[in-house]
Amino acid sequence: MVEKAFQDYYPDNFSYCYGCGRLNEHGYQIKSYWQGDESVCVYQPEAYHIAVPGFVYGGLIASLIDCHGTGTAAAAAYRAEGRLMDSQPPLRYVTACLHVDYLKPTPLGSPLELHGRLIEIKGRKVKVAIELWARGEVCARGEVIAVKIPENMMV
Amino acid sequence: MVEKAFQDYYPDNFSYCYGCGRLNEHGYQIKSYWQGDESVCVYQPEAYHIAVPGFVYGGLIASLIDCHGTGTAAAAAYRAEGRLMDSQPPLRYVTACLHVDYLKPTPLGSPLELHGRLIEIKGRKVKVAIELWARGEVCARGEVIAVKIPENMMV
């Protein structure tokens, strides 16, 4: 049995996100999974995802942290409620606040590995910390504050 | 005479950035200009740059803030030194720290307008504040701390 990624549980109408929607054929289609208490996502940048030749584009790094962060927020919220991710109603989160510290240039050519950790759940808000690793080193550190999707974004 | 964008002054080897490189044919190729003391960039997202249908992808917003931020940092550094942007040696900046507050869902379909403002220049660091507008409203607010590009990113 192949484990389903967090994003594979998103309802179809929430699956067009450029970063993490499985139905957005132009996008990154990232996949996040639990590994114990950490969420993990592996992504292989394209050759053109560069800042300068040889190094990964910071905007891609921010995007991966963002989407892995909201995915982790949703998965953590289901866990906190003792619910499976395919139970109803669906819990979907959007980013209220994104912070990224670029610790060192991220080398292009190897997979990027994101590790997420729940910091806290408080009402509609979930705070998640993310590390982005490349070739055995932490290259960026991020924090995402996700909130339950507002009514005016539901279609 | 058509005014050159900040990014059009970048040396060729710094012009492959996915967000702002004029030589990256896959990327956003954003263009930033001074309007008095503000830097301005207008960008039209693609139909697939969405978070959920009807609203712009947050990772794109972070990317635009990032690249308009480093562009503004460079342009402000030239100004502070009383130098033209085509004078030698070139000043190039990378992002050390990116912060984005998503104030409201950003509607898709109209151009996004980014307004940058220099906060401070201190040694190798330049801090810039950015507002992202859509349809007459500020939808996101960002801050970029840019640093002079480190030697190990020069190729």
Of A53, A102, A149, which is closest to B16 when you measure between CB atoms? A53
What does the DSSP 8-state code read for residue B41?
E
Q: Confidence class of residue A1 from pLDDT cuts 50, 70 and 90?
A: low
Nearest CA in chain B to A150: B105
Residue of B41, B40, B33, B27 whose CA lies nearest to B4: B33
- Verify whether the Cβ–Cβ distance A50 to B16 is below 8 Å: yes
- Verify whether the Cβ–Cβ distance A97 to B98 is below 8 Å: no
What is the rounded end-to-end Cα distance, in angstroms, of chain A?
33
Q: What is the pLDDT of residue B155?
A: 61
Q: What is the pLDDT of residue A154?
A: 72
Q: At what angle do helices B58-80 and A58-80 cross, to 10 degrees?
A: 140
Which of A56, A60, A95, A137 to probe the B interface (max B CBs under 10 A)?
A95
- Verify whether the Cβ–Cβ distance B57 to A19 is below 8 Å: yes
Q: What is the pLDDT of residue B1?
A: 57
- Verify whether the Cβ–Cβ distance B98 to A98 is below 8 Å: yes
pLDDT, averaged in runs of 10, over chain B (155 residues)? 88 94 97 97 98 96 98 97 93 96 97 98 97 98 95 73
Q: Confidence class of residue A130 from pLDDT cuts 50, 70 and 90?
A: very high
Nearest CA in chain A to B98: A100
Q: Using DSSP, state whether B100 is helix, strand or coil.
A: strand
- Chain A residues touching residue B63 (CB < 8 angstroms): 57-60, 62-63
Residue of B103, B105, B81, B106 whose CA lies nearest to B91: B81
In B13-111, the DSSP E strands lie at 32-35, 38-43, 93-102
Q: Would you say B26 and A48 are in contact if contact means Cβ atoms under 8 Å apart?
A: yes
Mean pLDDT of A121-139: 97
Of B19, B97, B149, which is closest to A59 when you measure between CB atoms? B19
- Verify whether the Cβ–Cβ distance A51 to B155 is below 8 Å: no
- Verify whether the Cβ–Cβ distance A66 to B63 is below 8 Å: no
Contact residues of B toward A, CB < 8 A: 13-14, 16-19, 24-27, 46, 48-55, 57-60, 62-64, 66-67, 94-102, 105, 149-150, 152-155
Q: What is the pLDDT of residue B150?
A: 80
Q: What is the pLDDT of residue B21?
A: 97
- Verify whether the Cβ–Cβ distance A105 to B150 is below 8 Å: yes
Q: Would you say A22 and A7 are in contact if contact means Cβ atoms under 8 Å apart?
A: yes
Q: What is the pLDDT of residue A3?
A: 85
Q: Report the 10 Å Cβ neighbour count for A9.
A: 20
Nearest CA in chain A to B16: A52
Instruction: Work out the minimum CA distance from A47 to partner chain B, whole angstroms.
Output: 10
Secondary structure of A115-148 as H, E, C letters: EEEEEEEECCEEEEEEEEEECCEEEEEEEEEEEE
Q: Confidence class of residue A76 from pLDDT cuts 50, 70 and 90?
A: very high
Residue of A107, A105, A89, A129 whose CA lies nearest to A44: A107
pLDDT in tens, A31-59: 999 999 999 999 999 999 999 999 999 99
Which of A29, A30, A66 to probe the B interface (max B CBs under 10 A)?
A66
pLDDT in tens, A81-96: 999 999 998 999 999 9
CA distances from B23 to A16, A51, B10, B103 (A): 29, 12, 10, 33
- Chain A residues touching residue B19 (CB < 8 angstroms): 57-59
- Verify whether the Cβ–Cβ distance A105 to B98 is below 8 Å: no
Distance, in Å, from the CA atom of B36 to the CA atom of B84, rounded to the nearest integer, reads 16
Q: What is the pLDDT of residue B152?
A: 76
A30 φ/ψ angles, rounded to the nearest 5 degrees: -70, 155
Distance, in Å, from the CA atom of A105 to the CA atom of A58, rounded to the nearest integer, reads 9
